[in-house]
């Protein structure tokens, strides 16, 4: 299923991911692309709008990130934020003032156009968050200046015919009053249904994993961090015990954290969450886990007599791993070799 989508071109702003978060909070799906993304790459029937993020560069510098001109011809509304505004203004014939010092912090903007679509439903003055060096001195032909500050003559501008909207401030940060309202007004211009939510996303990803894996198996390296843990939960939801997670203690976790990861994510002995393959593991214990990993992986690919042989090897390795004598030292990963001989 394809959701309506806003393409966010990331020109290097520290706030780009916040734009995505704010859109999703409002019920819109935002997808981040690199600054060199082309119209062909971001286009499609599900594209409803484009946002150009801020960035640390000056549009007056040679080699500064630029915009594929064909994006302006995609026929969807465009919102330029900070660097994005300056880039659009420069490319469309406006005048950019290059400043020797940056403006960073709170500022008051004065809304001067009551017909502004971005500022619809807002008061005449707003406190916003600025983070810029250059600014637009003169708007390009076809644009209406909709707000200004004491030191910035073009704090926002709109070309309603071409549906291009620009703001010098950052609506995605909480320091900007009614920033979410500004973004919501842009989404209304885009004509979005605002029906996206995290639950739908999880269900779609789960179904996609089932389609991709089919009847196969998955071996997942698990560190206990956000990325791998979320991946583990999604994959397990999709294919259950056909997922084998390998926790590798790389020595960089805080004291006691590796045990906590195993306790939190170990769904039972047969879930095959293997706490091991760490450098401190004794040889026989490592060999046991290596065997389980190899068997779990191969069992998804081999057939016939070879499959029966692999299953037999797996039964022996699991029997050793699940032996009660092994249980007390499974998390610690350490046991003298002579005691491991007794386990067998």
Instruction: For residue 237, give every residue at least 6 positions away whose Cβ sits within 8 Å of its Cβ, in sequence order, or none.
Output: 202, 206
**Does residue 82 have an active-site annotation?**
yes
Among residues 191, 121, 182, the alpha carbon closest in space to that of 156 is found at: 182
Point out the catalytic residue in the list 82, 166, 190, 288. Answer: 82
Point out the catalytic residue in the list 166, 172, 245, 288. Answer: 172
Residue that has been written with the tokens 């060096």 in this structure: 133
Secondary structure of residue 154 in the 3-state scheme? coil
Q: Is 223 exposed, middle or buried (0-12, 13-18, 19+ CB in 10 A)?
A: middle
Contact 67, 38 (CB under 8 A): no
Give the N- to C-terminal CA distance of the chain in Å, as an integer: 51
Point out the catalytic residue in the list 135, 158, 166, 170. Answer: 170
Number of other residues whose CB lies within 10 A of the CB of residue 91: 15
Which helix (DSSP H) or strand (DSSP E) does residue 104 occupy?
A: strand 103-111
Give the bridge partners for 147, in sequence order. 111, 156
**Does residue 170 have an active-site annotation?**
yes
b/e code 180-209 from CB counts within 10 Å (16+ = b): bbbbbbbbebbebeeebeeeeeeeebbeeb
Among residues 5, 97, 20, 94, the alpha carbon closest in space to that of 53 is found at: 20
Show which residues are catalytic. Answer: 82, 170, 172
């Amino acid at each position: 299923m394809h959701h309506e989508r806003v393409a966010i071109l990331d020109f290097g702003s520290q706030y780009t991911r916040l734009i995505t978060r704010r859109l999703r909070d409002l019920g819109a799906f935002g997808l981040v692309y690199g600054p060199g993304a082309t119209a062909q790459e971001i286009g499609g029937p599900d594209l409803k709008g484009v946002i150009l993020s801020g960035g640390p560069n000056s549009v007056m510098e040679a080699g500064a990130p630029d915009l594929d001109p064909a994006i302006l011809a995609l026929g969807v509304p465009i919102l330029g934020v900070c660097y994005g505004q300056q880039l659009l203004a420069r490319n469309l014939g406006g005048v950019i003032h290059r400043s020797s010092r940056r403006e960073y912090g709170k500022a008051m903007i004065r809304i001067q156009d009551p017909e502004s679509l971005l500022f619809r439903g807002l008061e005449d003055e707003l406190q916003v968050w600025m983070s810029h060096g250059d600014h637009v001195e003169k708007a390009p032909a076809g644009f209406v200046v909709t707000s200004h500050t004491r030191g910035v003559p073009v704090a926002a501008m709109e070309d309603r015919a071409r549906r291009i909207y620009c703001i010098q401030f950052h609506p995605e940060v909480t320091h900007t009053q009614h920033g979410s309202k500004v973004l919501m007004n842009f989404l209304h211009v885009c004509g979005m249904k605002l029906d996206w939510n995290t639950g739908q996303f999880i269900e779609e990803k789960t179904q996609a994993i089932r389609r991709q894996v089919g009847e196969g198996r998955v071996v997942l390296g698990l560190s206990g961090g956000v990325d791998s843990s979320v991946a583990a939960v999604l994959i397990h939801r999709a294919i259950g015990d056909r997922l084998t997670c390998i926790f590798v203690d790389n020595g960089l976790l805080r004291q006691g954290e590796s045990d906590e990861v195993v306790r939190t994510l170990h769904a039972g002995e047969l879930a095959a969450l293997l706490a091991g393959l760490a450098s401190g593991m004794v040889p026989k214990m490592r060999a046991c886990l290596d065997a389980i990993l190899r068997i779990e992986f191969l069992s998804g690919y081999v057939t016939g007599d070879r499959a029966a042989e692999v299953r037999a090897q797996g039964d022996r390795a699991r029997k050793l791993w699940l032996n009660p004598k092994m249980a007390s030292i499974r998390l610690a990963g350490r046991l003298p070799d002579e005691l491991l001989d007794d386990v067998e």
